[in-house]
Homo-oligomer: A and B are copies of this chain.
Amino acid sequence: MSGQLDELKQRMARLSDLKYASALASWDQQTKMPARGAESRADVLATLAELRHREFTDPATGRLLERAATEVNGADPDSDDARLLQAVRRDWEKARRVPGALTAEIAHAGSRGQEIWIAARRDSDFATFQPALQRNVDLARRYVECHLGHDGFECAYDVLLDDYEPQMRTAQVSALFDELKGELLPMIAAIKDAPAVDASPVELRFPVEDQRALAREIVELMGFTDRGWRLDDTVHPFATGVGDGDVRITTRYDENYWPMALFGSMHECGHGLYEEGSSLAHPRSPLGAVDSLAMHESQSRLWENMVGRGRAFSAVLAPRVASHCKALEGIEPDRLFRAVNRVEPSFIRVEADEATYALHIILRFELEQELIEGTLAVADAAEAWRARFEDYFGLEVIDDADGILQDVHWSAGLMGYFSTYALGNLIAGQLWERAHRDLPDLEATLAAGQLGGLRDWLREHVHRHGAKYPTAELLARELGAPISVAPFVRYLKDKLGEVYGLSL
């Protein structure tokens, strides 16, 4: 009996190919596709999803799993092979519970939903979007039904969360968020009473073409190269791998608010570096496809905020920003550092400062749970959003485009996803603290624009593992600690204390 494990790997390699085909179709939909392609594209994505599902859940996969298990018996339980088997078995059992038709329906609704969302957001018209959201919520509930009673899921939301953050549970997230909220609210209140930061450097006209050149220059410092990457325009920025080492990042531009494109590009490039590192370390393997979105977000937020908006890097950024924008000629690094770190409650999550960001997430995390559990009707969701937003931020949502319609996720059927954004900040805080301990000259290298040392440290401690370990185990191995709130809060207090001249 030769190589059942090899045959299993071959099977998984073909599934990886299909995943890349889907990722490309989705990338194209969001960057290049003419509008008339939408209907066909939804069919293509649905058919690919159904095929992947069918191929993966085929009993043949189960037989290969059984037989391959005997081949790796006695092998190091931490070997790639042993971990691959473990990961595939878990996913296989989970996927087997979902009918192929439902998988296709979810993919189709997600693709169509995104098109509907684009128009609804443009027109700030929740009513147009409501049926698509209802459909996605209904599909998510049907999906939840397939899984309840398995894998130790304790509530409906656990099922959805598990797809984006494997083995994390709702109760744990709630506890972390409660602790985080307890730290953030007094911090935000203290800053509110402090003298405002001078935001004029970010509130001026910066032509899009010049912003494009700046963004390009900065991501190249991070490791972006034409050999393996693309940077394109889109409505809702994202990063995706469409092949091993073929990374596509996207951004959008606001002529009157240049930090969006710059830090957005650094954010997506952070994701891209993770995709690049993991896929090249584990080509055509499920281990190369990172399945923890919290870990993924830790990479993007670390590069965007801790590096990009950090004090050290502002010495690199200031002259470069100035070289692309006449109005910023001669700007002092310190003034730039303060301007890009202003704390102010605002409507749009992706533009939120680091202190209020988590509140955006907590709001969505709560509403999502209520939608899934049925305690909130879809028809009432926009109103509920407005009420809760006023409660958390003290701001009145006038346009739903700046409220419930601002994010793509629910339109694409991605429910259970949002909390990973804030969890990512927490992990980034932990990695940032450890990187400083391991690399004593880290701040000096960042101030010199040398980002390779940090990138290599992340390659070694995070990227190369790919999806080999669940988050809790990865953190235990690399940091010797569980996910925790304190390091992120320490980082934030230090930084915002400096920005506002406060002792937080």
Complex contact A17–B243 (CB within 8 A): no
Q: A40 and B230: CB pair below 8 A? A: no
Contact A40 B20, beta carbon cutoff 8 Å? yes
Give chain B nearest CB distance to A49 CB in angstroms. 11
Which stretch in A31-39, A164-172, A319-327 binds the other chain? A31-39
Q: Known contacts A34-B227, A35-B227, A37-B243; can you find 12 more A-B pairs with CB under 8 A? A: A14-B51, A17-B47, A17-B48, A21-B48, A24-B25, A32-B230, A33-B243, A34-B228, A36-B243, A37-B246, A40-B245, A41-B243
* 30 A-B residue pairings within 8 Å (CB atoms): A14-B50, A17-B40, A17-B43, A17-B44, A17-B46, A17-B47, A18-B44, A18-B51, A20-B44, A21-B21, A21-B44, A24-B24, A24-B25, A28-B28, A32-B32, A34-B226, A34-B227, A34-B228, A34-B230, A35-B228, A36-B227, A37-B228, A39-B244, A40-B243, A40-B244, A40-B246, A40-B284, A41-B246, A43-B284, A44-B243
A242 at the interface (CB under 8 A from B): yes
Nearest CB of B to A37, in Å: 3
Residues of B within 8 A of A242 (CB): 28, 37, 40
Q: Does A229 belong to the interface (CB within 8 Å)?
A: yes
Chain B hits for A21, CB < 8 A:
21, 25, 44, 47-48
Residues on B with C-beta less than 8 A from A228 are 34-37
**Shortest 10 CB-CB distances between A and B: which pairs?**
A40-B243, A37-B246, A17-B47, A36-B228, A37-B243, A36-B245, A17-B44, A40-B244, A14-B47, A17-B43
A88 within 8 A of partner (CB)? no
Nearest B residue (CB) for A16: B43
List, in ascending order, chain B residues with CB within 8 A of A44's CB: 17-18, 20-21, 24, 243
Q: How many angstroms between the C-alpha atoms of A226 and B34 in the bound complex?
A: 6
**Contact of A13 with B by CB under 8 A:** yes
Q: CA–CA, A51 to B43, complex, Å?
A: 17
Chain B residues with CB under 8 Å of A246's CB are: 33-34, 36-37, 40-41
B244 touches A34 (CB 8 A): no
How far, in angstroms, from A478 to B289 measured CA to CA in the complex?
A: 54
| Copies of this chain | 2
* Set of chain B residues within 8 Å of A40, measured between Cβ atoms: 17, 20, 242-246, 283-284
Main secondary structure of the interface of A (DSSP, over half): helix
8 Å CB contacts to B: which residues of A229-248?
A: 229-230, 242-246
Residues of B within 8 A of A33 (CB): 243, 246
Q: How far is the CB of A220 from chain B (nearest CB, A)?
A: 14
Residues of B within 8 A of A50 (CB): 14
Question: Who on chain B is nearest to A14 by CB?
Answer: B47
Q: Which residues of B contact A245 (CB under 8 A)?
A: 36-37, 40
Closest residue of chain B to A246, judged by CB? B37
Query: Roughly how many angstroms separate A230 CA and B28 CA in the complex, as a whole number?
Result: 12
Residues of B within 8 A of A41 (CB): 243, 246
In whole angstroms, how far apart are the Cα atoms of A39 and B244 in the complex? 8
Query: In residues 42-86 of chain A, which contact B (Cβ within 8 Å)?
Result: 43-44, 46-48, 50-51
What chain B residues lie within 8 Å of A32 (beta carbons)? Answer: 32, 230
